[in-house]
Amino acid sequence: MNLSKAVEGYIVHKRSLGMAFRSDAVRLRAFVRAIGNCDMRFIKPVQVRQFLDGTGPVTYFWFSKYHTLTAFYRYAIARGYCSKSPLPINVPVKPEKFQPYIYTNRDMKRLIEAADSRHRHVWLLEPSTVRTLLLLLYGSGLRISEALHLRIADFDADAGVLTIRETKFFKSRFVPIGPDLARVLCDYMKRQWAGRTRTDATPLFGTHKGEPILRQTAELVFKRLREEAGVSRSKEARYQPRLHDFRHTFAVVRLVTWYREGKNVQRLLPHLSVYLGHGRLQDTQRYLTMTTELLKHASRCFEQYARPEVPHV
């Protein structure tokens, strides 16, 4: 069995089970390009290791590729496409766990001010579009892909509800938003689409030409905005703040608020999971650890402020 045919059959098999299987499909097709469309029986371990290692340091992406190939080879061996897996037995040590960036109110003020101070001729997007998109991500916890795929028909201004259609895990959901955020979206729509023909299929967020916004465009604009606003980790940090970190910020802020209000966070966690559109409760539970660490850090900062005479480690 040649590699390309086996990979495409595996992708079809996974999707027939109801899985989106997008990221894994991309990794598997990259594997075919790297190895070549050869007979699976003749793929050598050194070739697989070169694909896994790439040219940079070991990251979590190494393990993503490794787990994707492990599952693929289980499928291939079970069907007799090859007799054994060429994947390495010994795997490298995982890098330090990635920590999302949690935006503060001060960060948001800087980002909004930077967006409002720009002019359209030096932007790929209208400043008002950037501003509204950031406020939506910060105030709703949507994935950036969900926000960019919104259509005008998906926003019920009277009820203050967004309809997120056929997103990750093929799930749709309703996302209620507060009145302030709803007004921001209404004002943006009036400004963005004033004097233009629009239908229910018109994108809620568009370029100055009225075209849908690509994720790559949004990421590039945010990178420039973040640098101009001075919102960053230390220069030595491997990862800088991302658009997706607004989703983490939303979840952490909600959990911290519940803690401070004395709410039963464990009981409320499933509600947050549904709101965020997570496929599993475990995907939301990881925010609990992050929130606990954040609260400990906040407590230490407060104690240093309130009792500066006490030494702290």
Residues 251-263: pLDDT tens digits? 988 888 888 888 8
Residues of the chain where predicted confidence (pLDDT) is lower than 50: 302, 305, 310, 312-313
Q: Which of 223, 216, 137 is nearest to 177 (CA)?
A: 137
pLDDT, residue 255, reads 86
> Is there a catalytic annotation at residue 287?
yes
Distances 309 to 33, 97, 304 between C-alpha atoms, Å: 62, 34, 8
> Is there a catalytic annotation at residue 244?
yes
> Is there a catalytic annotation at residue 248?
no
pLDDT, residue 26, reads 95
H/E/C letters for each residue in 124-174?
Answer: CCCHHHHHHHHHHHHHHCCCHHHHHCCEHHHEECCCCEEEECCCHHHCCEE
pTM over 0.95: no
**d(C-alpha 36, C-alpha 90), whole Å:** 24
> Is there a catalytic annotation at residue 168?
yes
Cβ 205 vs Cβ 144: under 8 Å: no
Catalytic residue of the set 118, 143, 226, 248: 143
pLDDT, residue 147, reads 96
pLDDT, residue 123, reads 67
Tokens encoding 49:
């290791």
Tokens encoding 169:
């895990």
pLDDT, residue 192, reads 84
**d(C-alpha 305, C-alpha 294), whole Å:** 17
The alpha helices in the chain, defined as continuous H runs, are 3-16, 22-35, 45-53, 60-78, 105-116, 127-140, 144-148, 179-192, 215-229, 245-260, 265-276, 281-306
Q: 44: alpha, beta or left, given left = phi > 0 and alpha = psi -120 to 50? A: beta
> Is there a catalytic annotation at residue 118?
no
> Is there a catalytic annotation at residue 271?
no
**d(C-alpha 33, C-alpha 142), whole Å:** 34
